[in-house]
Amino acid sequence: MFRVRRHALLLAAAALTVANVGCNPFTMGLFTPVPIQPWVAERMNQKYGNRNDGRTPVMPPIRDGFPPPICEDPPSDQEVLRAMPRVTRGVPYIFEEFRDDIVIVKNRLVDKIDPPRFFPLVGPAQLHHCHWECVVYYTETVQSDHPFPMQTRKNRVQVLYIDKDHLHLYVGPNTDVQRQITADMTKY
């Protein structure tokens, strides 16, 4: 029994020694590098990096005697470009697609405030509709270098509609309460 156990241990030690010698990629154990496509990090950043895009902000109440607020903040260029369809993921030197000379024109379509109503998790509030039309002008370049070099350029136009709706708290017609809530929310 002792000899069998000794031979098994010697065999295991020899196998372990042979496995750890040379260019064996699995010698690092848990730290073995795993190849990942370059677009994976970009996709994860798009998925998890912009958490507030789908959330509706809650603003201070609309005060009586003051003009109603207007939609002053158009969508950022980054929001517009994220809303566009993705560029085709090609194979380098075989098929590649690019967007160059991007110009974005933003037009406000709707700016209206609904009467107060109850919203779950917020309470009584007024919905402020802000709808924007964003026209994106760009040059689409499709390029291939194999089997023969080829490149096409086309001027393109993409129209996107982006909603930037937000809520205004509704605390009633009392101006003192409106002033106090606005001071609490904006810190001035």
What is the mean pLDDT of the segment spanning 16-36? 67
Whether 16 maps to a domain, the answer reads: no
The answer to whether residues 56 and 166 touch, using CB atoms and an 8 Å cutoff, is: yes
Residue 145 within any structural domain of the chain: no
Q: What integer is the mean pLDDT of 93-98?
A: 89
Q: Is residue 117 part of a domain?
A: yes
Tens digits of residue pLDDT in 118-140 = 999 889 999 999 999 999 999 99
Domain presence at residue 93 = no
- What's the domain count of the chain? 1
pLDDT at 166 over 80: yes
Residue 93 pLDDT: 82
Residue 14 counted as domain residue: no
70 lies in some domain: yes
- Of residues 144 and 7, the one with the higher pLDDT is 144
CA dihedral 23, 27, 31, 33 (to 10 degrees): 30
Q: Is residue 74 part of a domain?
A: yes
Domain holding 108, by residue range, is 64-88+102-138+161-188
User: Tens of pLDDT along 31-54?
Assistant: 777 777 777 887 788 778 777 666
Rounded to two decimals, the pTM is 0.69
With respect to residue 111, please indicate whether it lies within any of the assigned structural domains: yes
Beta-carbon contacts of 48 under 8 Å, excluding residues fewer than 6 positions away, are: none
Residue 171 and residue 61 in contact, taking contact as beta carbons nearer than 8 Å:
yes
